Chain A
């Protein structure tokens, strides 16, 4: 890796911490981002000459803060009436600042920075886009590419979202325990959204979108370092690691989605599986089950089966029952039905999902799963109807193509 690539990696890894601390100083997102940009420019010239500092984040915060203060002072000289209010908050001595850099403030700084992106008035995709811009520091072009929209459209979207965030009252006071827990839950959900933006990509877009999975995992690890004893943060991280471990096996050479049962398990990343499992083990010790932990445990059971037939469906069924209790939803029941079909056969599974038809009638997966059960029961015509409905409801070409594979199999089998 060249020095420049190393500096780049150091800058991007220091970014959440540095922007978050600068936001606390300046209480203005634009000023904080600008200060960070300035500090990065100086880092490029200084670090390549003198080598990187021991603590890049602290260096960037110092330099960014001073550069921004210089700007304020310069502006002050130009205007006849000095605006003391603009800097009155910022008169701390360097020593006081250094002391703050070492304190646990970082934790709440970064949480705050992530939390302001989870603005309730912003639609989920905009929360994700703005978090990728502000927290991760991806360029607008990179984000636009991941969301498959033009750069100018994304620029507009982010500008608007940031204006909304700017208008809102940013909570600068140190949060109490309940607020912190609430913020953490919102941020955890947002990180999983980022992951799913990448994970739900079809073969044609996976190259553009897969970096979102890496970014979500990076943010989750960051959150985990800040909150090392939060089982749901462990659960979220584990869930994403385990899902991502299958990335190389999820598409075949023709770009078709490969079902879990049909994936080449040798392509799974064993390092990611090991890390995911380690985090679940740690989380379980806390005996505070949560939806992410349970989903991660289910993913781990799939990951540990050397062949599809080795899958521990009894355990998976039990975990889905736990998930139904923690987070009752017809989608969870639908997923449990797949485990039930493996344990008790397709008839029992079909019986289980029929009452869901009202609530899940517009849901792609419902018809896909129903079609598969009907097919296994030999009810070919009904299966075909269900698959057709699934295709009509597919959200992505990949989903539609995936169901078409089922239909093709069905046609082949009914001919032979």
Chain B
């Protein structure tokens, strides 16, 4: 089963890391990622630009409304995600714990994937 591990963290905290601190966290995460790659379990890894770069299209009005900023004003923001192949929720949690040890603070939402189309679902 594919799981998405959605990374939530306070982006002003992450944004106040120095480049050295940021690089150090990324290097630690890379160790975990490489292990997952070797096991053939890692899919796409995404780090999003800050929510200040986001724009939201509200579809609940007609025509849809364009709003500056992220969809949800929350204390922690969605900063990125991993797609990982796991045999069970336990294994997904274990993987998330490994990532968390490399990058403490914030939260991971572990979310099973229902439909995964890395190439847009094209059958060609």
A positions within 8 Å CB-CB of B: 1, 3, 5-6, 9-10, 12-14, 52, 54-56, 211, 214, 218, 221-222, 224-225, 228-229, 234, 237, 271, 274-275, 278-279, 282, 285
Q: When chains A and B are docked, how far (Å) is the Cα of A13 from the Cα of B19?
A: 15
Q: When chains A and B are docked, how far (Å) is the Cα of A274 from the Cα of B52?
A: 13
Set of chain A residues within 8 Å of B53, measured between Cβ atoms? 275, 278-279, 282
Q: What is the size, in residues, of chain B's interface with A at 8 Å between Cβ atoms?
A: 26
Nearest B residue to A58, CB-CB: B75
- The verdict on B15 contacting chain A, using a C-beta distance below 8 Å, is yes
Whether the Cβ atoms of B10 and A225 lie closer than 8 Å is no
CB distance from B41 to the nearest CB of A (A): 25
- B79-95 to A contact mask, C-beta < 8 Å, 1/0: 00000000000000000
Name B's interface SS: mixed
12 additional A-B residue pairs with CB within 8 Å, beyond A12-B16, A13-B12, A211-B18: A1-B17, A1-B21, A6-B105, A9-B13, A9-B14, A9-B17, A9-B21, A13-B15, A214-B18, A275-B50, A275-B53, A282-B55
CB distance from A68 to the nearest CB of B (A): 24
Whether the Cβ atoms of B18 and A282 lie closer than 8 Å is no
Whether the Cβ atoms of A13 and B55 lie closer than 8 Å is no
Q: When chains A and B are docked, how far (Å) is the Cα of A92 from the Cα of B3?
A: 47
Whether the Cβ atoms of B75 and A221 lie closer than 8 Å is no
Of residues 12 through 53 on chain B, the ones whose CB sits less than 8 Å from some CB of chain A are 12-19, 21, 24-25, 49-53
Whether the Cβ atoms of A5 and B21 lie closer than 8 Å is yes
Set of chain A residues within 8 Å of B21, measured between Cβ atoms? 1, 5, 9
The 10 closest A-B pairs by CB, nearest first: A228-B69, A278-B53, A13-B16, A13-B12, A224-B52, A228-B68, A229-B68, A13-B13, A275-B49, A9-B16
Q: When chains A and B are docked, how far (Å) is the Cα of A228 from the Cα of B24?
A: 30
Q: When chains A and B are docked, how far (Å) is the Cα of A10 from the Cα of B11?
A: 10
- The verdict on B65 contacting chain A, using a C-beta distance below 8 Å, is no
Whether the Cβ atoms of A13 and B10 lie closer than 8 Å is yes
| Max count, chain B CB within 10 A of own CB: residue among A225, A274, A282 | A225
